[in-house]
């Protein structure tokens, strides 16, 4: 005889009650950020977080139920895309390593997208080898003075807050001398410059810190714990990029299907390829659902790297095929190459452009951002398949003694 898990039943009833209250709160013409604020207050922002912090202390699998219900009701959840670096990466990292004061201060305006977040990790000489970074933070008594440069900072021009990893102890080995900060991007000494991409847009930025002071209460995770906090952030990033559960038929395959219909195409070989790409994306989507249902609270494991790798490769292949479907029209670039920067946008999930040519160009970054596909394969090889890792000859050397170009 099949038994019923009363705890699970209670959790489902609680989620359904909260969802019903949220839906009844909706009003015509309502400000989206007001609605998202209510969603946070009801514990439906990150359902696995504790009560009072945007959650209900439940298994994260219930977030799927919430997202699906709101989607069916036609209620936007674009805050998760518009502020993906905050909602997808910053929030779980702050929940795991932050103080009660930090959790109280940052999470609600992050979820409502009233305060946009960015990530300040990569440097001109430190990308995949993040631990070699050289941005310095020096203790001056009541805070830290930061000097250095970061690159590839998505939406840095819109951000109120940044997730910043710095070097506080150059005498320690490179992984041990790092400290993680939350930095106010409006602080004196912070300069954000656009990095123009092949789309003509400047979604990415380079950020310069010149004697920027950060108070000690903005340390996240403790002095010298920057590498541990950075790894958690990166694992959350990979889930945010590749592990989100999309609506069926959305994203790149959905774009291809619409393009096929718009152009009235009938070629059976191309149709077969279109179906194959759709199936691959659906397999990733279903895998993400299964991973989300099985995932316990806390930092994600290597499954985020698997999803991120396949999502990136399928995205690139899909938009390459889209260019093939366009034929000679693919040589045109309707948007033009005027320099623009994305603004806060709750209307779509493509950073403001929807034409195939721009999406094809933008997809080139998918196998680089959030960890290159090569790094993802290394993580899968070492942490999933149990293969030996690469030798790290500089692992125990003081950072200051490691040669740098």
Is 293 among the catalytic positions?
no
- Report the Cα 28 to chain-centroid distance in Å: 30
Asked whether the beta carbons of 177 and 168 are under 8 A apart, the reply is yes
Q: Which of 115, 123, 206, 237 is catalytic?
A: 237
Asked whether the beta carbons of 312 and 364 are under 8 A apart, the reply is no
* Angle CA 377–383–385, to nearest 5: 75
- Among candidates 97, 19, 99, which has minimal Cα distance to 56? 19
> Could you list the active site residues?
237
């Amino acid at each position: 005889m099949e038994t019923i898990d009363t705890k699970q039943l209670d959790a489902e009833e609680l989620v359904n009650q909260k969802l019903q209250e949220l839906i009844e709160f909706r009003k015509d013409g309502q400000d989206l950020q007001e609605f998202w604020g209510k969603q946070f207050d009801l514990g439906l922002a990150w359902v696995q977080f504790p009560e009072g912090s945007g959650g209900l202390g439940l298994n994260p699998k219930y977030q799927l139920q919430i997202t699906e219900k709101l989607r069916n009701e036609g209620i936007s959840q674009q805050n998760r895309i518009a502020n993906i670096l905050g909602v997808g990466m910053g929030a779980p990292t702050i929940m795991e390593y932050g103080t009660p004061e930090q959790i109280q201060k940052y999470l609600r305006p992050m979820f409502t997208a009233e305060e946009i977040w960015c990530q300040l990790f990569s440097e001109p000489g430190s990308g995949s080898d993040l631990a070699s970074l050289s941005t310095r933070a020096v203790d001056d008594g009541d805070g830290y003075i930061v000097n250095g440069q970061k690159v590839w900072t998505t939406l840095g021009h819109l951000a109120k807050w940044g997730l910043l990893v710095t070097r506080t102890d150059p005498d320690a080995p490179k992984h041990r001398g790092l400290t993680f900060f939350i930095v106010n991007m409006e602080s004196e000494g912070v300069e954000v410059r656009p990095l123009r991409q092949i789309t003509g847009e400047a979604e990415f930025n380079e950020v310069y810190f010149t004697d920027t002071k950060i108070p000690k209460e903005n340390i996240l995770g403790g002095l010298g714990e920057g590498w541990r906090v950075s790894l958690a952030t990166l694992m959350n990033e990979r889930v945010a990029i590749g592990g989100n559960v999309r609506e069926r038929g959305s994203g790149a395959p959905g774009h291809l299907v619409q393009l096929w219909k718009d152009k009235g195409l009938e070629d059976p070989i191309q149709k077969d390829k279109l179906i194959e790409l759709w199936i691959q994306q659906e397999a990733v989507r279903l895998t993400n659902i299964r991973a989300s249902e099985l995932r316990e609270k806390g930092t994600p494991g290597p499954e985020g790297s698997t999803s991120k790798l396949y999502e990136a490769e399928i995205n690139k292949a899909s938009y390459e095929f889209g260019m093939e479907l366009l034929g000679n029209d693919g040589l045109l670039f309707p948007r033009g190459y005027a320099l623009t920067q994305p603004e806060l946008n709750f209307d779509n999930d493509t950073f403001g452009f929807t034409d195939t040519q721009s999406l094809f160009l933008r997809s080139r970054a998918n196998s680089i951002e959030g960890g290159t596909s090569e790094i993802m394969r290394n993580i899968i090889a070492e942490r999933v398949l149990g293969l030996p890792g690469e030798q790290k000859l500089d692992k125990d050397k003081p950072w200051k003694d490691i040669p740098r170009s």
